[in-house]
Chains A and B, each alone.
Chain A
Amino acid sequence: MACGQVGRYAPSALRIGADPGTLGYMLFSEKRGFFEMEADVDIDKFFLVANYGLSSYKLIDDTYTYNNDGTYYRIGADINLMNKDPNLNVAFFGIRYAAARFDDDLNYNTQTLIHPDTGWPSTWEASSNDNVRARWFELVTGIKIRVVKQLYLGFTMRYKLFKSVSPAEELRPYYIPGFGKNVVSGTSAFGFNYYVSYRLPFRKKIIYTEGDKVIEDKKGKK
């Protein structure tokens, strides 16, 4: 390596973004609210990726109300299948480790839909969990398309699996921030995120082609 040159696996850029779906949920959903950010570091054909999100989930019914608030993060790596693209578009798949921490509470009437006749007068009861922890893994795939200058639009599809939740004494958490519903019938779920992101280059990215010919950056100069 000549003096002043950087190694092939030296990070070339940081991309930061957010999920614009936040706005949609804010405007149209009474149940769910979230804010999620994503950052990735470009290392040749790999990306180191991290997500951080804030989540709230609320259900209101005649016989119960449920509130869930928490945070989550994901860390992992992607491999770029379009690493020879001079426009630096990305089609990737990868893996993530994810974890969440949340509080939830339930207020419910003792005469519920599936227990309509308890033989006792109906009353309202409360149950809650503090500082519940959950973790899971994800297989992800998606694209990030460069739309203008360093601005990217993209999406990520997630298959979430091997969910594990810290045992709750009384109330089984119904929702896990970043994962989704915590139903009994499965430990996996499917997810989807849109991202708008901006790439902040540290240096010109060297694109290695076959035969060690190199293309520098987006213009395709050899």
Chain B
Amino acid sequence: MPRLKRRSHTFIFFWLIVLSINWFVACQSEECVSIYNNYLLVGFIKADTLENGKIELSPLDTVFYSVTAEGNDSVFYDQSDVTSFLQLPVNPAGEFTSFKFEMIDSIGYDSLSMQNIYYRNPTPHTISVSYHRGERIIVDDCGIEISYTKLTLVDSTFQNTILMSDKLSRLNELTNQFNIEVLF
């Protein structure tokens, strides 16, 4: 085969390879989804010591007078919510959030309105967390993903509070992985 012809074949072959790679690369598209959210999962766990000395952990249904965050007027949970875990939104505009858990001191009954009256304990509990915020544009039309990682438990007035996962993620909810566990 003449050398020129062989070279043109090599050149065409090389281009076919490059175009194939181009097609492959062009077909890789970024999904408009994010595993991150800004919800801190706080689980309430009852720890019972069994006769054999082992500790049994079980979810503990809990009611609060209110659960709020410093700098936010919203009440995330109130007396009507009975749950063993809370989804608490951390501040997306900062790297520190302090949550206030107001406890129910006592419950009365108003016979006129036929409703329970909840009395607040004057001493609330707090849990404060810090975290690292990261941003990225997923794709042009999809916008920004904000990730919350390196979660640190800064302060807790509950007696036993454990940091279990340092990443705020939708996957935590699916896998029942709490970020923070409060043991009673």
Contacts and interface: CB of A to CB of B under 8 A. Distances in A.
A108 interface: yes
Interface string B4-43: 1001101100110010011001101110111011110000
Given A63-B143, A189-B25, A81 B7 contact: yes
A110 B15 contact: no
Given A61-B143, A108-B144, A188-B25, A91 B11 contact: yes
Contacts, number: 116
A171 B144 CA distance: 10
Interface in A61-115: 61, 63-64, 66, 81-82, 84, 91, 93, 106, 108, 110, 112-115
A130 interface: no
Interface stretch (B85-93, B118-126, B157-165): B85-93
Contacts of A84: 4
Contacts of A59: 137, 140
Given A81-B8, A114-B143, A172-B135, A159 B14 contact: no
Nearest to B22: A190
Nearest to B97: A120
A4 interface: no
Contact of B140 (A61, A82, A118): A61
A159 B143 contact: no
A174 B18 contact: no
Contacts of B146: 108, 110, 112, 115
A115 B142 CA distance: 11
B3 to A, nearest CB: 7
A112 B72 contact: no
Interface string B110-141: 00000000000000000000001111111110
A49 B21 CA distance: 23
B143 A125 contact: no
A119 B143 contact: no
A184 B134 CA distance: 14
B173 to A, nearest CB: 14
A48 interface: no
Interface in A169-199: 170-172, 174, 183-186, 188-190
Contacts of A171: 134-136
B27 to A, nearest CB: 11
Given A81-B7, A81-B10, A183-B139, A115 B30 contact: no
A168 to B, nearest CB: 8
Contacts of A118: 38, 89, 92
Contacts of B38: 115, 118-120
A106 B144 contact: yes
14 contacts: A64-B137, A64-B144, A108-B143, A108-B146, A112-B143, A115-B145, A118-B38, A119-B74, A171-B135, A172-B136, A174-B136, A184-B136, A185-B29, A190-B26
Interface of A: 59, 61, 63-64, 66, 81-82, 84, 91, 93, 106, 108, 110, 112-115, 118-121, 123, 125, 127, 139, 141, 157, 159, 170-172, 174, 183-186, 188-190, 210
